[in-house]
Amino acid sequence: GAVVSQHPSWVICKSGTSVKIECRSLDFQATTMFWYRQFPKQSLMLMATSNEGSKATYEQGVEKDKFLINHASLTLSTLTVTSAHPEDSSFYICSAIFNKETQYFGPGTRLLVL
Partner 1 sequence: AQSVTQLGSHVSVSEGALVLLRCNYSSSVPPYLFWYVQYPNQGLQLLLKYTSAATLVKGINGFEAEFKKSETSFHLTKPSAHMSDAAEYFCAVSDGGSEKLVFGKGTKLTVNP
CA angle 70/13/8 to nearest 5° reads 50
In the complex, least distance from residue 107 CB atom to partner 1, rounded to whole angstroms: 4
Q: How many residues bind partner 1 (CB under 8 A)?
A: 24
Beta-bridge mates of residue 40:
none
Q: Residues 12, 26, 42, 83: which binds partner 1 (CB under 8 A)?
A: 42
The answer to whether 44 and 38 have CB atoms below 8 angstroms apart is yes
Q: Does 54 bind partner 1 (CB under 8 A)?
A: no
- Residue 14 has a CB neighbour count (10 Å cut-off) of 8
Q: Residues 60, 61, 86, 101: which binds partner 1 (CB under 8 A)?
A: 101
**Side-chain-side CA neighbours of residue 99 (13 Å):** 7
Interface ranges with partner 1 (CB under 8 A): 1, 4, 6, 32, 34, 42-44, 46, 49, 93, 95, 97, 99-108, 110
